[in-house]
Amino acid sequence: MSVTAVIPVREGSRRLKNKNIAPFAGTNLLINKIEQLKKVPEIDNIVVSSDSELMLEMAASQHVMTHKRAIEFCDEKTKTFGEVVAHICSNVPGDHVVWATCTAPLVFPKHYSEAIALYYEALKNGYDSLVSMEQFKRYLWDDNGPVNYELGLKHVPSQQLPPLYFCTDGILIAPREKMVEWNYFHGTNPYKYILDKRTSIDIDDGLDLACARAWLDMDESVSQIEPYMTK
């Protein structure tokens, strides 16, 4: 069964100009993600889907496949997001698609390899897709008050709260034909692939980008201080 990694990028960005090609790790976010995906042996094809000639040229320079999207599939107005997903997946090869956003630069090759292995097992166990998520336990409110805890004597420490999850959009995997059928990049019964806070970062604005750059070398920094840490 062949696996295609899709990197969706577009020219416009509302919060951070040229976000998808922002400088990162000695190159830019797009090329960084291509280089990461090339190191994943389970991936057979890499496709950059974009309306941007510059980004498509960058992809071609890295010797990966490209998919030119018409502007209506990039302007976030003419077509719904679901239509965009179906359009892209209808125009790429492969039995399974790994949706790999370049704005999740701290998702490394080891994470993709592990996620793909878990995905195949998940399909055998009745799941229909895989979605990377971050688990958290926080005190949440809506306009009517607390959502997941009670005030007063019934208040509990945050670690005793039931776990909640948010989709990180770092890794999403599903059968390609199902993505087309669903008009979406995962199904209603996805396997939760849990990532930590650092790996889960998704760059949406300048602060996110600064955090990702600061966290990039965290493994090295931690290894340097660990000998001095006491239990």
Going residue by residue through the chain, which has 231 residues, state the pLDDT in tens, using 9 for 90 and above. Answer: 899 999 999 987 777 889 999 999 999 999 999 999 999 999 999 999 999 999 999 999 999 999 999 999 998 899 999 999 999 999 999 999 999 999 999 999 999 999 999 999 999 999 999 999 999 999 999 999 999 999 999 999 999 999 999 999 899 999 999 999 999 999 999 999 999 999 999 999 999 999 999 999 876 444 343 443 444
Question: What are the extents of the domains in the chain?
Answer: 3-134+166-228
28: helix, coil or strand? strand
Give me the numbers of helices (H) and strands (E) for the chain, helices first please: 7, 11
Whether residue 73 contacts residue 79, with contact meaning beta carbons closer than 8 Å, is answered with yes
Whether residue 174 contacts residue 187, with contact meaning beta carbons closer than 8 Å, is answered with yes
Q: Compute the distance between CA of residue 199 and CA of residue 4 in angstroms, rounded to an integer.
A: 22
Q: Compute the distance between CA of residue 134 and CA of residue 149 in angstroms, rounded to an integer.
A: 20
pLDDT value at residue 219: 62
pLDDT value at residue 158: 95
Which CATH number describes the domain made up of 3-134+166-228? 3.90.550.10
